[in-house]
Structure 1
Amino acid sequence: MNIRLVPAILLPFLALALQWVLWPWIAPFVWFLFFPTVFFCARLGGLGAGLVSTVLSIVIVWFFFIPPQLSWTMSTPSNLYSVGLFLVMGYLFSETQDRLRLFKEGAQDYLNKPFSVEELLARVGGLVFSRQRTVEELSRRAELLRRLAETVEKVAAVRDLPSLTTIILRAVRELTGADGATLILRDNGQCHYIDEDAIGPLWKGQRFPLESCVSGWTMLHAEATVIKDISVDPRILYAAYRPTFVKSLSMAPIGRENPAGALGCYWADRHVVGVEELELQQALADAMSVGLANLDLYQGMANARQDAEQFAATLEEAQHLAGIGNWIWDLKADRHTWSKEIFRIFGRDPVLPPAVYPEVQTYFTPESWVGLAAAVDKSLAEGGAYECDAEVVRPDGFHRWIIARGKATHDAGGNIIGLYGTVQDITERKRTEQALRESEERLAGIINSATDAIISVNEQQQICLFNPAAGQVFGLSAEEVIGQPLARLIPERFRGEHENNVRNFAQTGITARPMGVGEISGLRANGEEFPIEASISHTPTADGRLFTVILRDITDRKRTQEEIRRLNADLERRVDERTAELTTANRELDSFAYAVSHDLRAPLRAMSGFSQALIEDYGSQLLGEAKVYLDQIDLASRKMSELIDGLLTLSRSTRGELRHDDVDLSVLSERLLAELMQSSPERQVAIQIEAGLQAYGDARMLEAVMRNLLDNAWKYSAHAAAPGIRVYAEERDGIRRFCVADNGAGFDMAHANRLFQPFQRLHRQEEFPGIGIGLATVQRIVHRHNGNIEARGEPGKGAVFCFSLSNMPADSARGEKEV
């Protein structure tokens, strides 16, 4: 083995150890210590040692430092480019150092030949000068390569376009010595001058068509361009260059195939671009191409990372909304991973690590832990999946229910290497299920205790539900009819019609309605038909529509109705008989009224007339008490006449047909009081009548009511110091009452029950004349209007009479009750 190869093998590993220690401070410059390592190895061992050191360094850097570390994969294209560049630079270092070594050895051999002193001095001077120039050239090239390598390292690490542009433009000016540099990118068929670094302003921010710009020509032809004199080259848009300092330029495409842009160098004096300058410019353009690719990759990675973060946030929110968390158990590393939702479900502080056995056992009830542990053990043993419910006991003491799901993971050899799964909070579902069970139990209790028969059938008319009441009605047990057709409970002549009605009912969209039109019947187990009353409803279920019939045996009701019809017929007969009797009584009453009006009035007129004749003809001859007696006869006859008129009025108040109209009691009261004031103009009475007192009744009878009440108020307030009469309405107990009040004599409420009795009076005739018929008439008229009248009073302080009216007369009300 060549001794020169030993350093070439050992030094890269030494650089590996040193760079591994310094990596936190020098990252991401992966070639930081390997450039000097290759240079030193080439210096010691020449071309072979340099190449061995270069290849070994590439292998070490690729595996240990290029992302992803400790892997042979390569995440970005720029890393592959940097590897190629390092390989080229390693070869150049090695080949340069090997030439120096050969030159040194040749010079030594040459110096060992016999020469004269002058010739030897001349040749030595020439060799020294030549070597000095070679060393300077090699140093310059090495410096260029070092700076190029640094630029590539920076390009590999940059993450945004402005920084990348600044690095490339600064490097191309430094390495080529150009007076200016521009970066041009292709943008929708135009050349967009993105940025520039020059001694004077150029075209930053401007756009030119690809076909009219030398940078566009470079992109379209995908080759470098060198123009010594811009004034004579037809590819130059000279009008755009005239304001600038540019006399010569070179343009390198960014990207060898379908270039994305161009990198331009400009000189203020006419300049011939050398091969080395153009190669450096092209190398930087290639580095820019890799940098742009990196930016696209980084942007894609950033977008992917943002999408992943957004997806993770959305997933976390979805897990929270659904109450589902996921977990992973890595058996090899014995590492447990929980999502945030699992921490929330278990009530565990997210700062703490996931709970593992035996701590995790404390989060479950003993019964639930036994079932869950058995399911997990089975999954670990057999490699299958599991699913089971478990009751969780949180640290705060609250209980929750979960459904735990898990599945084993296997390696390539089929060995179980872990478990993964989900935990879903099903507390609300458990509560709902419990509430549903309780509801079903309550419903079953209601159905079973219902006195009406309840029967449910499916779309095929098969009985699914048959409660005890139905069993009593039809004489069958639930076991006998469940699964049987409903037709078994329907008389044969109604079965076809019933099926059609149910089918049509399902298509109407109505959810419930009474069954049948007219009378419908059921069929008992013993073949007996009986009348029923039923309603039907339908409910959609997972297995189709469910029809439910609630029916009642109305046999007893039918008997009762028949009895009621018989009783009504008998009642109608009796009403007709009573009506005939009342008609006869009314005729007799009419006859009596006629007799009173005509037969009794004739003798009274005779008595009154003859007594008056005696007074007129023989009054002067009558002495002493004779004239008094005649006056009493005349007074008694007039009194008897008034009593007859009162009886007739009282009789008419309860007879005759009522006619209902709107009656304005305010206007009526004003008219009646005006008549009273006209009859007694000497009296001064304060009158108050509330406006708008509207009543509904027989106008003739209501006038009689108001005339009697106002006559009484006028009469009984005659002895008051400042008489007053008030007509108004009031609301009591939701009933509107019309009132007539005065401040006259009043009455003792102890005798109020006598006020409305015919011919009953609470005051002496000498004080207030009258026959006691008025209030009795008022009461009977009010009662005929299905109303009520009441009186309030106090001796010496006046009286108040209030009455109410109904829209329905008492005669009609009695008629409806009788029907």
Structure 2
Amino acid sequence: MENVNSIERKNIDMRNKIISKFEIQKWQNIVNILANIFEVPAALIMKLEGHFIEVFRASDSKNNPYKVGKREKLPGLYCETVIKTGQRLLVPNALTDKKWERNPDIKHGMISYLGFPLIWPDSEIFGTICVLDQKENRYNKDHIELLKQFKELIESYFEVIYEKMSLEEEIIKQAQIVENISEAIISTDLDFNIISWNNAAEKIYGWKAEEVIGKNIMETIAVEYPYDEQESVLKQFSEEGYWKGEVIQPHKNGTPINVLTSVSIIKNITGAPIGAVAVNRDITARTKSEEALKENEKRLKDAQVLGKIGYWEYDITNQKIIWSNQVFKLYARDPSLGPPSVEEEAIYYTPEVNKRLKEYARRVIENGEEFDYDFEANLPDGTVVQLTGLMRPVKDKMRQVMKLVGTVQDITDRKTSEQKLKESERSLRKSKLELEIKNQISNIFLTVPDEKMYNEVLSIILKNLKSEFGIFGYLDENENLVEPSLTEDVWEKCAVEEKRHVFSKKLWVKNIYGRVINGKNTLYVNKFFNVPEGHIPISNFLGSPIIYNNKVIGIFIVSNKESDYEEQDVRLIESISDLIAPILAVRLERDRIENIRQRAEQDLKESEEKYREAYERASFYKSLFAHDIRNILQSISSSEQIFSLFLNNPNKLKEREKLLEIIRRQVNRGNILISNVQKLSQLEEIGISIKKVKIQEVLDESINFINRSFPAKKIDITLDMPDQEYGVFANELLLDAFENILHNSVKHNDNQLIEIDIRVSEVQWEETNCVKLEFIDNGRGISATKKDRIFQKEPQKDIMSQGMGIGLSLVKVIIENYNGHILVEDKVKGDFTKGTNFIILIPKAT
């Protein structure tokens, strides 16, 4: 990094370069005028050059001994005092003044001096303006005032130069913004011939700037207006000089691009149009996501139509009813009439049904109860339909019921079928139970928020299958088994160390869940299971996959039924799975689209801010990724090539597993690299806030994390810490720092038993009370040449090849943000191969 002096030197050089020849000539005229008016042999403008002062302009007087470009050391000169004090200096006769009798200018015969400092607008000293005489001269008030006026005139030139510098810097900055911004910025003349075409335009359209500049944009890139008429667009642009909207334009390869464009007329300082500029953003991905979301909403509506299920609301305050389109169909009411009033709706029911529905509504409002019920409705044409409904409250922030919501479903066909089917009493009860469960679950899917839906569906299944524990989960895009619903008190009863709601395929494929999912069949086992220590006891098991379009999208698991599971339980849970499969598929697809949309919006928002990043940091990340990602991809590519050779060889199973593990490690390495770069970038960009943090808690959490991260390794981590509470000023990133160091200690260790000794003590460092933490391992160690570079952010090939560079760079930035210090030493002094000692010093919180 440049020091302050070098930066000041560059600023001075830049200012000097901007001083034009025209201004120099004007300054020459000034010193000539001063010499004539003052009748002195020398009038000068002197320029400060470090410890020297140089003649910048000298009067053309006949007896002037000073020449332009001549420089002398500053000490002892009249000008030194002017520069140091920043004030006027008048020396009438140096020969009679002991302070000046040895002044170097006396050798030129110059015994009198009058001078003022010349100062830049930012208070930096340029030099001096002065007059010198070979005889005693006390200079009258008019002379002094005149010299002062010329000083102020030159300093006004400085202000112009300073403004010019600021303007040029701003122009450079704006040019960099235009080149780095994520939107295409295209400017044309009045005939729409392309004048400028930035980097983003090249990326979005595929055309290089040199291919399009000078061409007519209308002829080069066609425009389609999906939501506007071309004539109205051109009219608005002509009249208002501005238009914003969505268009469709082709990529160079012919692919259509959805573009959000903003086009404006460019005017000169007189207000006359001179061209146009367009700022275009590629919204193709967002448009596709919105279309997919609309399609899924349509599917959900179709599902309601097919299931003859409608949704209604009743606002208690204004007694207003809201019906979905399907409810209008169920009640054979013209939608143009709108929903009925409370009095009008009562006409559809018998007095007994009206009384029952009002009683339900009263209890929902007063007690917050929920009801599902069957009832009859009399349609306007005299038809009597059988309906089933759900009624539940919606409460405000004060926990007061503000509205009633529910669903209604036409079950006339079901009721008719039930009447026709005269099966045994037991079969009838089972059929009715199954239908009620399906109706309850369907209503839950349509009316209950996602965060409660899974638990409510699971509760119904557990109740009807008389099971103690259960799971209702789904497979996400990465085939992780997500379990948003577990039996509510299961966590209280379960005492395993690592509790989780998300299980990777690597975990679930090995257990009985994998048999259910991969086999695509319901499975039940009536026995006690062997479970990990602390796990709740499991006896009897029933699992059913939720399949949609021949793909498993979820799973039901129930267990601990007092009696054995039977085939009738299988039929019930499979029928429930079949019922919810299409609805769950729509929800999962909706959530997926929503996640894509949110990520797209977030990415767009972030991309609008990224153009402000510094060039140096971008260059660093580019070099870092170019090296580390190349190594990661090379390792994956090499492993993949070898894996292909072993693919059909049954004797190479172990080798294939090893190769797959290498690929997984490289993917994890890439994830860690990305995570560390993101954190490092955030720290450098916005810094961090700190608070008092307890060292003991952070160390415990980081040790637990390392033990979980390397379950296959034997790791012995000891903590030597006095029996007192140590606090430091830090934040949550301290955990990242500790985890990075511990992770390196495990990763770069070839021993069967990995030993890490953490020692905590209190020391004085740079006159500050600090907490000292030592992480001492028995790993490979770090050689002396590498110790000097492991914390550097600049890519170091030999260090990054071992995976230490960016992680430890992040640790260093984190610790320094706490006003702390980190260093590395050998465990055994003089022998780095015996292990490493990472030492962290952080100011103690009092």
- In the superposition, the TM-score normalised over structure 2's length comes to 0.35
- In the superposition, the TM-score normalised over structure 1's length comes to 0.36
From the CA coordinates, give the structure whose radius of gyration is larger. Answer: 1
> Where is the helix percentage greater, Structure 1 or Structure 2?
1
> Where is the strand percentage greater, Structure 1 or Structure 2?
2
Structure scoring higher RCO (CA < 8 A, sep ≥ 6) equals 2
